[in-house]
Amino acid sequence: MPTFTASEPVPFDLPLAREAFATAGALQAAATRRAAEHVTPDDIAVLEALNAEYETALADGRVGDAIAHDTAFHHRFFELADDPDLLVSAELIMPRLSRMDLWLFTRKAFDPSQNSHPGILAALCAGDGERAAELVEASFTDAGEMLAAIVERSSHAR
């Protein structure tokens, strides 16, 4: 396995990044489906509060805080799903995404329409766990594809 010094950029593996986002999306969707089976109004209130904190942090340009609130929002589904194996699987994949979070969430600070949380919350309130899961999964897949498109464009521009 090659080693890299601080002065050398670590190569970006585009297919691996896409796979990581797709895998994370599938795990998040599974947790959302399971959580939706027994989500309560109190759970919705917690999720709404986390989303409000996320939106405020983005609006204020506090990208690190926005990432933390988004992570807490999605982690809540794993707590509600009450499936330790699912949680461990997600905990193994999420560090692979963290190196891309800053770029993705900085872009979201300039385009608040990319927030999938309101649609997810609306689906949960309507009792449509499947739709909520689809929206969660799409948010991860779309983020991976958005990142891939930028990387591909920049590599063709060279």
Residue 58: CATH number of its domain: 1.20.120.530
User: pLDDT by residue (tens digit) across 32-78?
Assistant: 999 999 999 999 999 999 999 999 999 998 989 999 999 999 999 99
90 within a domain of the structure (yes/no): yes
Q: Of residues 40 and 98, which shows the higher confidence score?
A: 40
Residues 6+ apart with CB under 8 A from 108: 58, 66, 114, 115
What domain range includes position 53?
Answer: 15-152
Number of domains in the chain: 1
C-alpha pair distances (Å), 115 with each of 2, 29, 84, 140: 38, 16, 27, 11
Q: How far apart are CA 120 and CA 61, in angstroms?
A: 23
DSSP codes, 36-77:
HTS--HHHHHHHHHHHHHHHHHHHTT-HHHHHHHHHHHHHHH
Residues 6+ apart with CB under 8 A from 148: 14, 17, 18
pLDDT at 7 over 60: no
What is this structure's pTM? 0.84
| pLDDT, position 117 | 95
